[in-house]
Amino acid sequence: MPPKLMIPGPVDVEAAVLDMLAEPVQAHYGDEWVAIHNETLELLRQVFVTEGRVYMLPGSGSLAADAVIHSMFKPGDRIALGINGFFGIRWREIIEANGMTPVVIETPLDQPLDPAAFDRLLAEDPSIAGVAAVQLETSTALLNPIRAIAQVTRKHDKLFVVDAVSGLAGAEYRMDEWGVDATVSGSQKGLGGVAGIGLAALNDRAWAAVEQAGPARSWYLDLRRWEWYVQNWADWHPFPITMPCSVILALRVALQSLLAEGLDNRLRRCETLAQRLRAGLVEIGMELFIPETLMSPVLTAAYCPPGAKSADVVRFVAEQHNIKITAGFGAVKDQVVRIGHMGAMISENDIDRLLDALRHFVDEYAAQAARPDEG
Ligand SMILES: Cc1ncc(COP(=O)(O)O)c(C=O)c1O
């Protein structure tokens, strides 16, 4: 039996998604494929809740981030960036790698980004071209106030780019209604597909910036190139490269399933599971890393039982109970575990099995501690 995945992505996928990966290889061009490709984009628009352009970029979420930053901004541009964890830091690297300057607004790991700080910065520094922030900071399970930051950014008429790699379809997100200009995500988390596709969604404001951004410094990351194929090869090959058809077919099945359940229903299901897990953790004595009100519905970070190390908890749960969870990040790596409950494949039974496994760990750990001579 493969282990139950309760990590923050990739997620276990539904049987129909897995079956699709075993289907014969398809050609990535021609009428039949173009219809599948376009239908998948339409499903994605429903999940991003946008009427904008969506691109499936073979690669991962980070590639989509790289493509969006590369395409929307010019070298030398200053981009206000919220950082309160590892993935915020990754955006700093991506912005710098593209020759732009991140102007960092930082909050501690356990605190959400502050929309008022963005408001002040944008008021003081009109040279800033755009704002970037991570929705669900996967390193800590914290959900940032994207809607409020979007409001502030739009007030100052700047572009807003959001990393929704781990939060999409796991926490409320309404790109057009909230006024987010570009969103980046990936196929392997809340959407319920397998890894392999970076996703980029851009509204007309973002697209106008792409058109004005000057010469590209990359071939693959240049979204104007991707759009050229949409416009000029629409009838047989609306993308510049060979697409991973099997991965896209699997993603399409996952999206169909997600939308059949209904986005809101999926979110409610995630919330119910999260509450069940968190109540159980507290009962076991595993304190939540941040208050529940700050956590996303699809990821939980909790301190290990007192005295225990995350590596030991993770190993025990894997070896004794065949469930894969993961450690914390950075400064709290040894003290914190992270438990993913995203996608379609987490049930109440999985949550209860994990809680049993953690209870078992606590009992064994306490029993060992009571026998100091055995270490
Ligand atoms: C919030 C966030 N951003 C970006 C990434 C990077 O995505 P990928 O690993 O698909 O490149 C991740 C991956 O876990 C993530 O959680």
- Cβ of residue 354 lying under 6 Å from some atom of ligand 1: no
DSSP state for residue 112 in the 8-state scheme: -
Return mean pLDDT, the chain.
Answer: 97
- Beta bridge mates, 55: 200
Chain centre to alpha carbon of residue 124: 31
- Is a pLDDT exceeding 60 seen at residue 374? no
- Is a pLDDT exceeding 60 seen at residue 17? yes
Q: Which two tokens stand for residue 64?
A: 């989509």
Ligand 1 pocket: which of 84, 135, 137, 166 to mutate (most atoms within 8 A of CB): 166
Q: What percent of the chain has pLDDT over 90?
A: 95
Of 310, 97, 340, nearest to 221 by C-alpha is: 97
Q: What is the pLDDT of residue 375?
A: 47
277-296 average pLDDT score: 97
Give pTM, 2 decimals.
0.97
- Cβ of residue 60 lying under 6 Å from some atom of ligand 1: yes
Q: Tell me how far the alpha carbon of residue 375 lies from the centroid of ligand 1, in angstroms.
A: 39
CA 12 – CA 262 distance, rounded (Å): 19
- Cβ of residue 135 lying under 6 Å from some atom of ligand 1: no
Q: Give me the helices (H) in the chain, please.
A: 15-21, 31-48, 61-72, 86-97, 115-124, 146-155, 175-178, 204-212, 223-232, 245-261, 263-284, 310-321, 348-369
| Nearest atom (ligand 1) to Cα of 195 | 10
Q: Tell me how far the alpha carbon of residue 208 lies from the centroid of ligand 1, in angstroms.
A: 26
Chain centre to alpha carbon of residue 325: 17
140-166 average pLDDT score: 98
Tens digits of per-residue pLDDT, 333-359?
A: 999 999 999 999 999 999 999 999 999
Q: Tell me how far the alpha carbon of residue 234 lies from the centroid of ligand 1, in angstroms.
A: 30
- Cβ of residue 85 lying under 6 Å from some atom of ligand 1: no
Q: What is the pLDDT of residue 371?
A: 74
182-189 average pLDDT score: 98
**Parallel, antiparallel, or unpaired for β 182-186 and 197-202?**
antiparallel
Of 72, 3, 45, nearest to 199 by C-alpha is: 45
Tens digits of per-residue pLDDT, 82-103?
A: 999 999 999 999 999 999 999 9
| Nearest atom (ligand 1) to Cα of 63 | 11
- Cβ of residue 9 lying under 6 Å from some atom of ligand 1: yes
* Cβ contacts of 303 within 8 Å, gap of 6 or more: 286, 287, 288, 289, 335, 336
For 200, left (φ over 0), alpha (ψ -120 to 50), or beta?
A: beta
Is 204 exposed, middle or buried (CB count within 10 Å of its CB: 0-12, 13-18, 19+)? Answer: exposed
- Cβ of residue 163 lying under 6 Å from some atom of ligand 1: yes
Q: Mind giving me the DSSP string for 166-220?
A: TTTTTS---HHHHT--EEEEETTSTT---S-EEEEEE-HHHHHHHHHS-S-S-ST
Q: What is the pLDDT of residue 365?
A: 85
